[in-house]
Copies of this chain bind each other. A is one copy, B any other.
């Protein structure tokens, strides 16, 4: 387990403008970077609502694509895994294949941003997902902001999953994933798409790393359960602002979201 961190000081400084530009110098007329949609992580609903079976789509892919060109999520009725990459939205269905989706399809939970490559972390080797995430976290400049993660490469091994559309009464996510379909890729060229979320946003999104995968031909992929990497460059987009849009009707409205669902979350991520 070895790594080199190639953090670009200038890129980091640019990212650090988020809420400090102007303010520090007392120049109130200059706008902070947060006014620019590109530097905002846009999120629909919360991970805990998804864990508690709020699966009805509330925002269309068309609107989502106005908020970012890069991201992950799921679709109406929990049908499959979302990968938004280079502005194209893919749905990895129960069969493991990726389909380009229409702008009319809706999502109950997704995170997107406009990906701007701020930093690079070189990972020479990681035997599994836990090791990859460990190396990555050790090289993050701060554990208190969000990062979009993009890894292009050829991966010795990737294991993914997807889930079928659900019907009412919706089962809990932990029960759906108990019957997930699992796919394995060997020496697969493709792209890993996801986010790193600070611990203080637990309940809102997945603390730590949440990664999806899609092959180079954009024909297959899914939610990453495990992987092995060998000499990859991790591209990070430092994102210090988050815009969370909550469903203001439907199942979400009456849900009891006061509990600690981290136990459920750990199960569904595996």
Contacts and interface: CB of A to CB of B under 8 A. Distances in A.
A16 B106 contact: no
Interface in A99-145: 103-104, 106, 141-145
Contact of A248 (B15, B22, B48): B15
Interface stretch (A169-177, A216-224, A235-243): A235-243
A58 B248 contact: no
A266 interface: no
B142 A24 contact: no
A246 B59 contact: no
A199 interface: yes
Nearest to A13: B249
Interface residues of A, number: 62
Copies assembled: 2
B63 A20 contact: no
A10 interface: no
A32 B245 contact: yes
Interface in A6-47: 15-20, 22-24, 26-29, 31-32, 34, 40, 44-46
Interface stretch (A90-98, A158-166, A253-261): A253-261
Nearest to A244: B242
A269 to B, nearest CB: 18
A196 interface: no
Interface of A: 15-20, 22-24, 26-29, 31-32, 34, 40, 44-46, 48-49, 57-63, 66, 103-104, 106, 141-145, 198-201, 203-204, 238, 240-250, 252-255, 257-258
